């Protein structure tokens, strides 16, 4: 018996070892080949792809088309899984990988019909841009053809790799539209539902301007002087069928988290404020952080019109060219501009529409997209139907039909004009290129080696005489033919010698009626950056880095003062809490318990005051959380005026409401982070807001899945401050550069170049990000190199 058990254990261990060895071998065989020579029909001259110790891809080519081929090859070797996810997310084909869990995501994407629109965009591109995408695709596919074993993501998901098409790169641009402007689509619908459901007074109250304004020209929007409206009657009255307890539960149960400030920080000074006389630029684009990271280090060296060009920065896997970077003469960066690019059109009752039916493939089905004509596909996937009108796809809310006109739906929404930044030498030249760029509209900030600095909206903007914030009529839409805007504002070399953008309103109050508000950030972060820029008269790259890491809690100081005053009146109950508040240090610092308490107190107050209104909108099929970005002025107006009608049933005073909100916030925190001991020391902000950069498959792989993630990092920042960070969101790059002085330039990224867990580049560079170190922008000495030679035609 003992021998039998012994041999069983030995056999089990041997089997586990064989499985582990097989998995290791499979992973090893899927590593890309980084050295050697290749021949291809898709380069005109010998083209070299090198990598340094960080995996930084350095491409030396005769022309930009050959460079595009090599960049596609590098992207596919290191990041094809990421590229595949982005094209699937935009086309509505995630469910074929992960099953029914992704159906709602796919339905939302297919509502926009991006796969069909991508072909129309490609057909309208200039021939040079079409050829760039074609060459890039050849590079991607030839790298895929080299895989002897599928990357592990494809083995884990049980799916095959499909070849990259030129139009798939357009889908990658559309995926960025969903990330960067998807909130605008939801916001206008939420505004419309708010106005229709609760009336004009409540609409104006909740969407009123705030004092947090930092436009570049200093212009201010007038603040509201209207009295606080009564709490909506349709929500405030209990009756025989709706109890007081039920009404209060609706208030308290709302859990809409605020939207992250997608779009980032971007600031610059002209040469008069630098020691070298060149402009200085900082850029940190705030996005969701995951493994692999979104950006890819690259340097493209090529010739154009007899001139040598070298462009260094970050590229987006799936697209040829550098998105944010420098060519040594200029440097440029982006933040989400949040200009209004959306119209929802209220359809008349007799307006004709058509029904479009598609099949969303599920695992095990044919994974190609299909229309309703294919009965075979319909039996193998999920059938999805949508309504179309002459104005765009249709949604029905509260019995009304609304058609969507979004800039992303038009042929002028996407192009590759951004690659032309590589050949320009001055801010003036860059501003000319900016007029041609078609991407989700960004605040473009550009500086040059001669000392100039400028801002302008860069990207596709709808041309309108007046922007709309709620749904418009069919007649208004017919009088407003969708065309790209040709007249956009520019600020060049302002007298302040400083430029800043941070997702809030940058445009002047005069331009606002035409360009609109597509969901501006509150403005507190922009104000804090502006104020930091006026604290000094001379700046270096290190000074700019310090601004990006500024986690001073200026925005929450009034909330801290409010909470401290309230708890002081209940000193016996809250004596320990006051100790944490008194040592909060007014920063989103790792060791600050007080910061955590103040942050969650504010959130609970907002939810208790507005939860029932917003949850009512959610039940109608809109996303009310988009309205939370601008809720601050209405919240403080209620706190200052304390109208009885806004109190929950059974609550006598606002002080009672506010103290109850704190108790709720504290109890929720302790239930989550210390359910047994109720130890408030566990509420350190660094622990509550710990950064966890994770691979989307890590939770699905037992035992070793966590090895796919980056090491967790103590949280040090938050929203409403320059150092933006949540548990899975933050600066997707930290970029500081002065053209002509690239030896001092910095580019720090929250992860490695390669998505392969056995690659030496999987985590390379992440430690610099975690420790807030300065990774050089310029590549180091190459350690691997491949050369592509032209294969002779037979």
Q: Could you list the active site residues?
A: 264
Structure tokens at 173: 């641009």
Per-residue DSSP letter, 520: -
Q: Which sign, positive or negative, has the C-alpha torsion 367, 293, 168, 265? A: positive
Contact call for residues 455 and 501 (beta carbons, < 8 A): yes
- Tell me how long the chain is: 794
Q: Is 419 annotated as a binding residue?
A: no
Structure tokens at 180: 């960067």
Using alpha carbons, list the distances in angstroms from residue 133 to 64, 84, 247. Answer: 11, 16, 56
> 620-630 burial string, b = 16+ CB within 10 Å, else e?
bebbbbbbbbb
Structure tokens at 547: 């601004």
Residue 18, judged by CB atoms within 10 A of its CB (0-12, 13-18, 19+), counts as exposed
How many CA atoms are closer than 13 Å to the CA of 628, on its beta-carbon side?
28
Q: Is 228 annotated as a binding residue?
A: no
Q: Is 342 annotated as a binding residue?
A: yes
Using alpha carbons, list the distances in angstroms from residue 585 to 469, 525, 582, 683. Answer: 39, 18, 8, 15
Residue 14, judged by CB atoms within 10 A of its CB (0-12, 13-18, 19+), counts as exposed
Using alpha carbons, list the distances in angstroms from residue 57 to 138, 420, 789. Answer: 18, 20, 18
Using alpha carbons, list the distances in angstroms from residue 539 to 271, 491, 533. Answer: 10, 20, 9
Distance CA 735, CA 265 (A): 10
How many CA atoms are closer than 13 Å to the CA of 466, on its beta-carbon side?
8
Q: Which sign, positive or negative, has the C-alpha torsion 779, 782, 783, 787? A: positive
Annotated binding residues for Ca(2+), written as ranges, equal 340, 342-343
């Amino acid at each position: 018996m003992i021998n039998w058990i012994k041999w069983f254990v030995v056999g089990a261990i041997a089997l586990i070892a064989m499985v582990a060895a097989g998995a290791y071998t499979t992973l090893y065989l899927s590593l890309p080949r980084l050295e050697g020579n290749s021949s291809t029909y898709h380069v005109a001259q010998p083209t070299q792809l090198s990598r340094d110790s960080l995996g930084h891809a350095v491409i030396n080519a005769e022309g930009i088309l050959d460079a595009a081929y090599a960049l596609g090859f590098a992207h596919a070797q290191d990041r094809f899984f990421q590229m595949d996810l982005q094209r699937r997310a935009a086309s509505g084909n995630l469910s074929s990988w992960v099953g029914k869990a992704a159906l709602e995501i796919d339905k939302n994407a297919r509502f926009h019909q991006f796969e069909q629109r991508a072909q129309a965009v490609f057909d309208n591109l200039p021939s040079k841009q079409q050829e760039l995408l074609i060459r890039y695709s050849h590079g991607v596919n030839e790298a895929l053809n080299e895989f002897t074993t599928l990357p592990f993501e494809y083995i884990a998901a049980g799916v095959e790799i499909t070849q990259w098409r030129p139009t798939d790169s357009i889908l990658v641009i559309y995926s960025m539209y969903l990330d960067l402007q998807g909130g605008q689509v939801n916001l206008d619908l939420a505004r419309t539902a708010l106005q229709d459901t609760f009336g004009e007074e409540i609409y104006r109250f909740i969407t009123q301007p705030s004092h947090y304004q930092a436009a570049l020209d200093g212009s201010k929007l007038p603040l509201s002087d209207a009295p606080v409206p009564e709490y909506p009657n349709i929500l405030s009255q209990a009756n025989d069928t709706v109890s007081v307890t039920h009404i209060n539960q609706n208030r308290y149960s709302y859990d809409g988290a605020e939207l992250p400030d997608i779009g980032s920080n971007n600031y610059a000074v002209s040469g008069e404020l630098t020691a070298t006389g060149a402009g200085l630029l900082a850029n940190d684009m705030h996005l969701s952080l995951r493994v692999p990271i979104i950006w890819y280090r690259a340097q493209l060296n090529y010739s154009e019109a007899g001139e040598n060009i070298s462009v260094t920065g970050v590229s987006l896997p799936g697209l040829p060219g550098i998105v944010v970077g420098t060519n040594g003469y200029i440097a440029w960066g982006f933040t989400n501009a949040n200009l209004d690019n959306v119209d929802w059109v209220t359809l008349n009752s007799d307006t004709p529409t058509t029904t479009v039916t598609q099949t969303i493939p599920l695992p095990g089905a044919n994974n190609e997209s299909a229309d309703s004509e294919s009965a075979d596909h319909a039996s193998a996937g999920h059938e999805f139907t949508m309504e179309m009108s002459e104005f765009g796809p249709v949604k029905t809310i509260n019995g009304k039909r609304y058609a969507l006109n979004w800039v992303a739906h038009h042929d002028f929404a996407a192009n590759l004009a951004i690659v032309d930044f590589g050949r320009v030498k001055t801010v003036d030249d860059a501003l000319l290129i900016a007029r041609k760029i078609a991407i989700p509209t960004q605040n473009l900030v550009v500086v040059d080696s001669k000392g100039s600095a400028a801002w302008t909206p860069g990207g596709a903007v709808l041309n309108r005489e007046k922007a709309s914030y709620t749904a418009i009529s069919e007649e208004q839409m017919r009088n407003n033919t969708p065309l790209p805007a040709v007249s956009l504002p520019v600020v060049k070399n302002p007298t302040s010698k400083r430029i800043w953008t941070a997702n809030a309103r940058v445009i002047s109050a005069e331009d606002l009626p035409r360009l609109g508000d597509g969901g501006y950030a509150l403005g507190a972060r922009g104000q804090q950056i502006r104020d930091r820029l006026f604290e000094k008269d001379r700046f270096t790259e290190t000074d700019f880095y310090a601004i990006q890491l500024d986690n001073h809690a200026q925005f929450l100081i009034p909330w801290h003062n409010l909470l401290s005053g309230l708890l002081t009146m209940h000193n016996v109950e809250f004596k320990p809490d006051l100790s944490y508040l008194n040592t909060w240090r007014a920063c989103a610092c790792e060791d600050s318990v007080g910061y955590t308490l103040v942050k969650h107190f504010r959130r609970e107050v907002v939810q208790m005051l507005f939860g029932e209104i917003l949850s009512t909108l959610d039940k109608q099929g809109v996303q009310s959380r988009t309205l939370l970005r601008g809720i601050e002025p209405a919240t403080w107006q209620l706190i200052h005026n304390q109208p009885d009608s806004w109190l929950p049933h059974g609550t006598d005073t606002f002080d009672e409401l506010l103290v109850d909100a704190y108790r709720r916030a504290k109890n929720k925190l302790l239930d989550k982070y210390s359910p047994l001991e109720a130890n408030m020391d566990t509420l350190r902000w660094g622990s509550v807001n710990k950064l966890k950069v994770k691979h989307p498959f890590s939770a699905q792989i037992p035992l070793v899945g966590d090895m796919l993630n980056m090491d967790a990092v103590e949280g040090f920042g938050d929203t409403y401050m320059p150092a933006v960070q949540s548990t899975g969101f933050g600066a997707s790059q930290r970029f500081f550069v002065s053209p002509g002085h690239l030896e001092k330039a910095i580019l720090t990224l929250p992860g490695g170049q390669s998505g392969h867990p056995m690659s030496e580049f999987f985590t390379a560079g992440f430690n610099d990000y975690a420790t807030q170190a300065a990774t050089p922008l310029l590549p180091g000495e190459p350690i691997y190199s491949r050369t592509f030679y032209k294969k002779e035609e037979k």
